[in-house]
Amino acid sequence: MNKYQFNLEDFPVGKAKVTEAHFPAFYGGGDISVPIYVNRAKNPGHTVVVTGCIHGDEIVGLRVIMKLIESKLKLKKGNLIAIPILNPYGFYHKTRYLPDRKDLNRQFPGNPKGSFGQRFASFIMRNFGQVGDFYIDLHSGGLGRLNIPQIRYDFKLQGVSEVLEDIKIPLVVNSKLRDGSFREALSDNGIPCIVFEGGEGLRVDKNVSQDGLLLIKSVLSHFGMIRFAQKKIVSKKIFIKRTRWLRSPCGGFQINHFKLGNTVKKGQLIAEIKSPKAEVIQQIFSPADGVILGMNVNPLVMAGDALYNLGFLREDQDLPEEEGVFDWDEY
């Protein structure tokens, strides 16, 4: 690993600066330059860190941070650090993973003497994992899988719930800490982190990126770092304590009857799987009252493919706990 060391004190106060961080080389080449945005106020305050593209194909985070830079924020106090491409190795290859085929967000807190992924995770923690008081980690669904904008964090942890009151995004989903995730490593050090989920892999949606920017500004406003006059929050927050993946029982062509963010009732027909002859092979019914948090947007499905991520609206529904689905939003 290289000897780059991020030092907040190297950046002047009272101004914003976009510079380059030098990430470790791979395949014997030179170090990889990654943009980093640092905005320091003259007055002390919180340090908020925003990260994007920890999965290389989740480019929504990059667009959100681009919009953040373009907004030319003037901080009243504190510091704002944003790293738009935390996993350049996956980003430049348009893939989720590292060159060693590992998921970077399963390697934390890392090991300076371990595998490439573990060493790189250790590099990130050493440089960027100890500088912030509050973190926002930007994610999206995988390729062909679309998530409605939502906030995710572990409801059992402290340091987040009071911030939510000033965030306009209405959907808040309980998400247990995942082993080896950046969020878990931060939590182990007593640092709160929320995940923003929205959009689809290798795609950018204007509304989703705008929601991501709104989230960041809301957090900064909560800590008194910027003046931000939000419109009055009309939507009541929906707290989802449990989720469940609905999978296709067979292969075929998926016909959706509901859209992302729609609420559904138990027993309601939400999709059909048809054959190329237009024959209905299988009907998909909702197993519970819920809201569609994520959905498959590729109509060609195989048996076992994830169709919908359903968030429970009632706690008394006796259904299995959350099922993991490979590369959907396994942040």
Q: Tell me the CB-side half-sphere exposure of residue 91, using CA atoms within 13 A.
A: 18
Q: Do residues 266 and 289 touch, judged by C-beta distance below 8 A?
A: yes
CATH, range 243-312:
2.40.50.100
Residue 3: pLDDT band with limits 50, 70, 90 = confident
pTM of the model as a whole: 0.93
Q: Do residues 329 and 197 touch, judged by C-beta distance below 8 A?
A: yes
What ranges make up the beta strands (E) of 101-188? 134-139, 145-153, 171-174
Which residue reads 């738009």 in tokens? 84
Q: What is the pLDDT of residue 320?
A: 52
Residue 173: pLDDT band with limits 50, 70, 90 = very high
Q: What is the mean pLDDT of residues 126-144?
A: 96
Q: What is the number of other CB atoms lying within 10 angstroms of the CB of residue 325?
A: 19
Q: What is the mean pLDDT of residues 109-119?
A: 96
Mean pLDDT of the chain: 92
Task: Compute the distance between CA of residue 224 and CA of residue 218 in angstroms, rounded to an integer.
Answer: 10
Q: Do residues 121 and 102 touch, judged by C-beta distance below 8 A?
A: no
The pLDDT tens digits of the residues spanning 46-73 come to 999 999 999 999 999 999 999 999 999 9
Token digits of residue 201: 């892999």
Residue 125: pLDDT band with limits 50, 70, 90 = very high
Give the right CATH number for 8-222 from 3.30.300.130, 3.20.20.80, 3.10.20.30, 3.40.630.10.
3.40.630.10
Q: Do residues 163 and 222 touch, judged by C-beta distance below 8 A?
A: yes
Q: What is the pLDDT of residue 231?
A: 65
The alpha helices in 2-140, defined as continuous H runs, are 60-70, 88-91, 116-128
Residue 324 has pLDDT above 60, yes or no: no
**15-47 in b/e burial notation, b at 16+ Cβ within 10 A?**
ebeeeebbbbeeeeeebbebbbbbbbbeeebbb
Residue 39 neighbours by CB under 8 Å, 6+ apart: 15, 16, 17, 73, 75, 79, 80, 81
Task: Compute the distance between CA of residue 226 and CA of residue 77 in angstroms, rounded to an integer.
Answer: 8
Residue 303 has pLDDT above 60, yes or no: yes
Q: Between 63 and 321, where is the model more confident?
A: 63
% pLDDT > 90, the chain:
86
Task: Compute the distance between CA of residue 230 and CA of residue 228 in angstroms, rounded to an integer.
Answer: 6
319 dihedral zone (left: phi>0; alpha: psi -120 to 50; beta): beta
Q: What is the pLDDT of residue 235?
A: 62
Give me the residue spans of the domains in the chain: 8-222, 243-312
- Tell me, yes or no, if the two domains 8-222 and 243-312 fold the same way: no
Measured between its terminal Cα atoms, the distance across the chain in Å is 25
Which residue reads 């076992």 in tokens? 304
Q: What is the pLDDT of residue 327?
A: 33
Residue 232: pLDDT band with limits 50, 70, 90 = low
Q: Do residues 120 and 24 touch, judged by C-beta distance below 8 A?
A: yes
Task: Compute the distance between CA of residue 119 and CA of residue 285 in angstroms, rounded to an integer.
Answer: 45
Task: Compute the distance between CA of residue 225 and CA of residue 192 in angstroms, rounded to an integer.
Answer: 17
Strands 243-247 and 300-301: unpaired
Residue 229: pLDDT band with limits 50, 70, 90 = confident
Q: What is the mean pLDDT of residues 182-206?
A: 97
Closest CA relative to residue 47, chosen from 215, 223, 275, 221: 223
What ranges make up the beta strands (E) of 24-60? 32-40, 47-51
Task: Compute the distance between CA of residue 219 and CA of residue 134 in angstroms, rounded to an integer.
Answer: 9
Indicate the range of 189-203, 213-227, 234-248, 267-281 predicted with least confidence. 234-248
